[in-house]
Structure 1
């Protein structure tokens, strides 16, 4: 390291200076002891500097490791979120199946939900019911419980959107619309454009053409470069033909 080189040069200067003094004066035990003490002090100083540099290097490596771990965790979280979007979107595009009766629903196995979970764990539990276990009825209950327990959560827009998608896939358009409206009310939600589009689809299924066109137009106006806007434009073209 540069610091080691500087320290060695400094030690050499001291050594030369001390040697000059010894040559200029008669050699004596006192002179030799002085020179030894100077060299020992120089060695201790250099050792201390080296230890400080080693500690700084270790601290930098530790910080770098934490940054790399955080980057990996963020990447994994984004990948899970992307997969979740795809799975729920595919689910919403499947043919509508008959909605189970209340009696049948109570017979279906439901994933246990702990109210002692932290906010993050509770949200992840609901997500896993969709991604890993394909337990959509259990996911509905988990997301509803989550929103009741954490009404002001940062995950509220996403949780409401997934509830809307899940209810939409079961053809429960009233509950689906209710949850999509929650997402639309949150202006900075990344799923707001998709929620507006889904509200347009629901209005269209309810034969409310005017309302459907209003939602589609809003998507085009507020999110002109989005994928949702392209779908909204196609829907408007189809409606104008009728």
Structure 2
């Protein structure tokens, strides 16, 4: 009995010891596992903390860059606004200058027009006092303005049929301008005015003066024919025939010569 109890007690003690050893082994394993787990967690924590630090640093740098970009953008906007203001100012100045240029162009054009008017006026005034070249009976001559005016006035009176005034005007003209280029033509017209006023002898004298001074004058054949007409009016047919014969001989191709032939036929 006692032995059996002892054996039982020994067996129980052995079992307790084995169980205690097994439990002690399991506690060590668990402790190591916990330590390893803690180490891994700590490493992960440290890794996350490092990543978080790096993320914060990058975020800080990003915020700094964003701030600088924002400032630069604001500066750029201000610069653009200033530039736009300068451009508008330049446009306004350009428009003003264009307006001023257009006004100057108009003023210059007006000034040039006035200058031309003044020059034209002065030239017209000077022409009244300067010699002018005119064509009379197919010949170019140079005459003074007053000389041209007096000749045209005398001729205008003849054309109006005022032969008395024309004769007086041409007589005064010949006295006032004895060397005028108009002289042969003036002699022709004063002779015609005298013929119209029945001053046949005075007309013959002036027609002959024309022939003596300018025998090649375009009016010379008509002057000879006019002398014959005056002689006919004076009933001096013999002299008229001689004058008409001289006309045909001296100017055979002229219209006056044709008229002279017809009158010779009637006088014979």
**TM-score under structure 2 length normalisation:** 0.44
RCO higher in structure (CA 8 A, sep ≥6): 1
- CA radius of gyration, larger in: 2
